[in-house]
Chain A
Amino acid sequence: MYLPFKTSKRRIREAENARNNRSEIVKALSQGQINRRDLFKWGLFTSAGLLLCKNGLSPFANSAFAQVPIGVPRSPIGSALPYTQLLNRLAYEPPTPLTKLVQPNGEWEAVWPSSRVSGGGGPSSKRLSYHTDFSAHPAGNKPANPFINPITKRGPMEGRPPGEWFGHQRWKEFFPQVGYALAFGECASGTKFHPAWPDQEANRMWPMYNFEGFGAKGHFPIPLLKGRYGEGIIMRAYNNLPVDRTNNGGFGRNEPSTHFHNAHNGAESDGASNAFHFPGTFYDYHWGTTLARHDMINRDATERRASGPDGHGGLVQVPGDWRELQGTLWFHDHRFFFTAENVYKGMAAMMNYYSGPDRGNETLNDGVNLRLPSGSLLDYGNLDFDVNLFISDLGADQDGQCHFDIFTTEGFVGDLLTVNQSWQPYMEVLPRKYRFRILNGSMSRFIQLCLADQNGRLVPFQFIANDGNFVVRPITSQKLDEQGSAERYDIVVDFSKFKIGDKITLVNLLQQTDGRKPDKALSLAKALAKDSPDPAVGPVMQFRVVSQVESVDVPGYFHYASYPDRSQVPLALTEQIPIVAPVRERHVEFGRSGSGDSRDPRTGECNPSCPETATSFPWTIKVNGESAHSMNANRISLLIPKPGEVEHWTYQNGGGGWDHPIHLHFEEGVTMNRGNDSIPATENLVRKDVWRLRPSGSVKFQVRFGEYGGAYVAHCHNTVHEDFAMLLRYQILTDRDNPKSSNVHVDIIPTPIPTPDGCTYMTPDVLVEGNPLGNAVMVSQNNGGSSIDIAPGSAPRSGSSGGSGSGSGKSGKNKS
């Protein structure tokens, strides 16, 4: 997406001017200021009378100076120098305690304190969406309806779809004790990636931030939340974006849907079920902090390691498999077709889950706590020596404003890397151990990181977790593996061998010049010399060893280099989940297996018909050797019929020209192999939720599903590819014999169709090969008796007024 470093100024000017020149000529021609004869004279017309793709007229035309095919100028950095701004720590947002209110009908509500935001804490959080109340209210879609969107006076105030289908599963069991009210909104003035850069315009960036009423604006850095096992959470996402969707700074859509990557939640709170919501509304996501295998393993909660901190040095023990505890997580917008643009705009945040073993406290010694570097001023969740690094790329136009190529289908690669929304920052560290939680939050860029001392030598570190899951034993290493979009690597770096004043650099070794795949990793020396056409190769940020730092956990308190480092990196962090014989195997092939143009290369003819090498759908699926299938990106492609069944999945990359980081929602898989290819120690038998497939590569993992039901997705996490149908839906059905799990999600849940006036549903179709139950599956007709249209496959209607009728007559037909 950029010209190489060594590009002459002349070439950069050429590229910059080319588009303008061309459009000016076209305009002049169209306005009659010049005519075709002039253009012929100037040699700018082809014999066919059309404008040439000529140097100076097309940014894509080859020039003597062009060294890459895509001649878009590089982002200007103005007078900004590296390491002149302090690293932003992500904006920690404390939780708001909620209180339980029991309604006469037996429903529980979680009440927000009135002090939460000016003007009141907002309506209490409920099992069913306020859309249900809105639709049932006699006032209909009118301002008199107390449940109406307060900003637009259209549609319900909550964007969560109505009725039981999007009711919170296991609400009382994982009842929310705390809440976070966050918002997406325009950015405030002063939002910038470096002090020397111009402010981003209000609608260039739409960061996620702590909600303070609809009048307030967003800011950098994005939030960091601390969750703990045993404490249910409501994340209320307010949509404070402009009502006019064209008011978007050239990219992005004002209809977010927040996906919590990769927590164990019901589909209604997974944020990837087409349930996006409109400006003025909120959406209550129920994050129960359920530990996976809750219904299968350690059901009596006697295992001490399956636990969360109680805040007073003790533990809250929970059912589930402690080997599936998660740590470093994030959440981000997942609006279909707009995910890349919206995440790029800042619609994301990080969340650390804290547990008995992973306490975020390095001194508390109770036999369960691993005492990893973090701090000790707080009972849990210390951040003084435990640092989230959200790394993402950007490209700016000549005014320093972020730009995005909304037409790209290959992937947008920015030329600058930022850390926590700051460009090339520095961070002061003490000479002791630190934990870093590194997330690649880029849209399409792969990175590969290492640390260099000031003599250009690699600095070793310990790798402790992949995608938020501990490796069994810490792995000492000098370079991280490649890191695709959404992958998280936790490492521990020991700065104690450095002197005060030493500087250590975080370096990106991986060169990437288009959205398809990285080119290659460079040597550290070359990367430090920035000997690459990719401006994002080289230093990312700097650590400076100092003798004292102020605490972020308890501001005003200082830590000194002389204090002993009592943190540990134990020899074992977790235990291995064994690989067993699966109940079922699935094979999903992403990308095309075709070998390009199948016509005769000499004649260009198909005589009589071209041989088909492959159907060119973005992905195909095989289940247990069934024939491949790929028709339609919008259907339920896989059906997971019974919780707890062990499955082996193989993801295969059908194309050699691409790499895809593939993400499975809701559950993690134990990585088994990469076919015949080598597998790094950081992945071998390690739990993950995003896998880089590698060009023409494959990966096999063991997975099982449980506790919740509904529609989830698996997709490429190159967020640009994700938007272009490299996405398959899978449906988890809950167990009819489990009284704890949802009795609604034993059937297939219809697809919500949101509109500004309310949400309707549509019946999904089911791919037969992915359906081991054959014809026995029913679409759920049980939506709690609310007066919502069930319009199977028919046109979605703006059924805001609770419209009865039109669809309901058809719904019976499905059962015949």
Chain B
Amino acid sequence: MSAMSQSGTWRWSRIVRVILLWAWIGSLTAAPLSAATWGETYIPNVPFVTQDGQTVHLYDDLIKDKIVLINFIYTGCKEVCPLVTARMAAVQHALGDHVGRDIFLYSITLDPLHDTPAVLKQHAQAFHAGPGWLFLTGTPDDIALVSYKLGERGKGLTDHGNGAIAGNGATGEWEHTSLFQDMGQLALVMLNMDPAFRAKKGNTLGSAYADMTAIPYVSQPGQALFVKACSSCHTIGQGDRIGPDLAGVTARRERAWLSRFLQAPNVMRAKQDPIAAALSARFPGVSMPNLGLSETDVGDLLAYLESRTAWSATVGAK
């Protein structure tokens, strides 16, 4: 946030050269209209600060010439937001080493007064954010301008959208997309942001693509719920992720407690329930949202967890 440094001046002059080079290239090939419409004249080049305290300029450093997926968050959100961020984590996983190389994920806070870089850092760690996933904050004015321009126009924090926008700074293409759609489809949306990927005939998809998580057919009532509501944060027998591994959870905890916790984890935390508190301590920076599950839902979920645990044990024993 300090005035421009010596090295900064050098960096700018280098950027000017890059711009000139680009202008020269641009004169050879007519830029698509979308780039002119939704490019640097549209995207504000405001300074943002990353979760690591680094100051970056939104357009020049984060968007220009990059393929990006952007969503808006605030860490104080206890409703659906943690699930949204968990879905971003799933995108990061699905895209594998594309993230940080040619695809970048940005979660911009709508609550810059509370979400300092340090707070965002803890949040990022809770969701296992890798190098290509930045959590960004800035001044309230800049946040307001950027969120407006990028389509986040909710009237209050909890009114904000759960969608995301995918874009390519080089071509000026932008499209709204849903983090709650199938991960494979979303990954395809991101890969298709690259004109080279689109142009390549019979493109054999990269390893990241082949590795994407399968969503198996729902053969049990609890399975659909688990896949959509839980699997972004939890595994059954594959280890802790954003939240604890749920293998054997039905044996570990009393059913009544599980039922209460699954239906209203926030209330349990508010009541200083010891197990809930211990979980909060073990997984700092993230708390399980209230997903609005009913008693029936919980029953279905627990039945699924039980049968899945038993199935894992059988397979593991062989």
Tell me the B18-63 residues at the A interface (CB within 8 Å): 19, 32-35, 37-38, 40-42, 44-47, 57, 59-60
The contact of A793 among B40, B214, B292, by CB within 8 Å, is: B214
Which of A60, A247, A613, A634 has the most chain B CB atoms inside 10 A of its CB?
Answer: A634
The contact of A50 among B141, B174, B188, B224, by CB within 8 Å, is: B141
Distance of B191 from chain A, by nearest CB (Å): 10
Query: CA of A448 to CA of B8 in the docked complex: distance in angstroms?
Result: 58
Query: CA of A66 to CA of B11 in the docked complex: distance in angstroms?
Result: 39
Stretch of A521-529, A644-652, A796-804 at the chain-chain interface: A796-804
Q: Is B182 interfacial (CB-CB < 8 Å)?
A: yes
Knowing A26-B44, A631-B228 touch, does A616 contact B292 (C-beta < 8 A)?
no
The reply to whether A765 and B296 form a contact with Cβ atoms under 8 Å apart is no
Contacts of B210 in A (CB 8 A): 795
Query: CA of A49 to CA of B4 in the docked complex: distance in angstroms?
Result: 11
Q: Is A215 interfacial (CB-CB < 8 Å)?
A: no
Stretch of A124-132, A176-184, A538-546, A592-600 at the chain-chain interface: A592-600
Size bracket, chain A contacts: 35 or more
Closest to A250 in B: B37
The contact of B205 among A141, A245, A756, A798, by CB within 8 Å, is: A798
Contacts of B44 in A (CB 8 A): 22-23, 26
The reply to whether A609 and B78 form a contact with Cβ atoms under 8 Å apart is yes
Query: CA of A598 to CA of B289 in the docked complex: distance in angstroms?
Result: 14
The reply to whether B138 and A632 form a contact with Cβ atoms under 8 Å apart is no
Knowing A49-B1, A409-B161, A800-B202 touch, does A762 contact B181 (C-beta < 8 A)?
no
Contacts of B178 in A (CB 8 A): 633-634, 724-725
The reply to whether A154 and B161 form a contact with Cβ atoms under 8 Å apart is no
Query: CA of A254 to CA of B62 in the docked complex: distance in angstroms?
Result: 27
Q: Is A763 interfacial (CB-CB < 8 Å)?
A: yes
Query: CA of A753 to CA of B245 in the docked complex: distance in angstroms?
Result: 32
Contact with B along A576-618 (1 / 0, CB 8 A): 0000000000000000101011110000101011111111111
Closest to B208 in A: A795
The reply to whether A246 and B45 form a contact with Cβ atoms under 8 Å apart is no
The contact of B139 among A23, A31, A50, A244, by CB within 8 Å, is: A50
Distance of A552 from chain B, by nearest CB (Å): 37
The contact of A30 among B35, B57, B272, by CB within 8 Å, is: B57
Q: Is B300 interfacial (CB-CB < 8 Å)?
A: yes
Distance of B254 from chain A, by nearest CB (Å): 22
The reply to whether A53 and B177 form a contact with Cβ atoms under 8 Å apart is no
Contacts of A606 in B (CB 8 A): 76, 78
Tell me the A43-80 residues at the B interface (CB within 8 Å): 46, 48-53, 58, 60
Knowing A50-B46, A51-B142, A246-B171 touch, does A30 contact B205 (C-beta < 8 A)?
no
Query: CA of A46 to CA of B177 in the docked complex: distance in angstroms?
Result: 34
The reply to whether B32 and A244 form a contact with Cβ atoms under 8 Å apart is yes
The reply to whether A612 and B79 form a contact with Cβ atoms under 8 Å apart is yes
The reply to whether B270 and A609 form a contact with Cβ atoms under 8 Å apart is yes
Contacts of B151 in A (CB 8 A): 407-409
Contacts of A810 in B (CB 8 A): 214
Contacts of A798 in B (CB 8 A): 202-205
The reply to whether A627 and B158 form a contact with Cβ atoms under 8 Å apart is no
Closest to A793 in B: B215
The reply to whether B291 and A31 form a contact with Cβ atoms under 8 Å apart is no
The contact of A337 among B152, B159, B176, B182, by CB within 8 Å, is: B176
Contacts of A753 in B (CB 8 A): 184-185, 188
Query: CA of A816 to CA of B311 in the docked complex: distance in angstroms?
Result: 12
Contact with A along B134-172 (1 / 0, CB 8 A): 000011011011001111110111110111010000011
Contacts of A154 in B (CB 8 A): 201-202
The reply to whether A23 and B41 form a contact with Cβ atoms under 8 Å apart is yes
The reply to whether A30 and B15 form a contact with Cβ atoms under 8 Å apart is yes
Q: Is A170 interfacial (CB-CB < 8 Å)?
A: no
Q: Is B294 interfacial (CB-CB < 8 Å)?
A: yes
Q: Is A365 interfacial (CB-CB < 8 Å)?
A: no
Closest to B211 in A: A795
Distance of B262 from chain A, by nearest CB (Å): 12
Q: Is A249 interfacial (CB-CB < 8 Å)?
A: yes
Contacts of A494 in B (CB 8 A): none
Q: Is A19 interfacial (CB-CB < 8 Å)?
A: yes
The contact of B290 among A23, A35, A406, A615, by CB within 8 Å, is: A615
Query: CA of A19 to CA of B148 in the docked complex: distance in angstroms?
Result: 13
Q: Is B260 interfacial (CB-CB < 8 Å)?
A: no
Contacts of A317 in B (CB 8 A): none
The reply to whether A253 and B57 form a contact with Cβ atoms under 8 Å apart is no
22 interchain pairs (CB within 8 A)? A32-B12, A32-B16, A53-B144, A246-B35, A409-B176, A592-B159, A594-B159, A597-B156, A599-B157, A608-B270, A608-B272, A610-B78, A617-B80, A627-B294, A627-B296, A627-B297, A757-B202, A763-B216, A763-B217, A793-B214, A795-B214, A798-B204
Q: In the complex, given contacts A410-B153, A614-B292, A793-B184, what are 6 additional A-B residue pairs having Cβ atoms less than 8 angstroms apart?
A: A406-B38, A406-B174, A407-B151, A617-B80, A723-B176, A765-B224
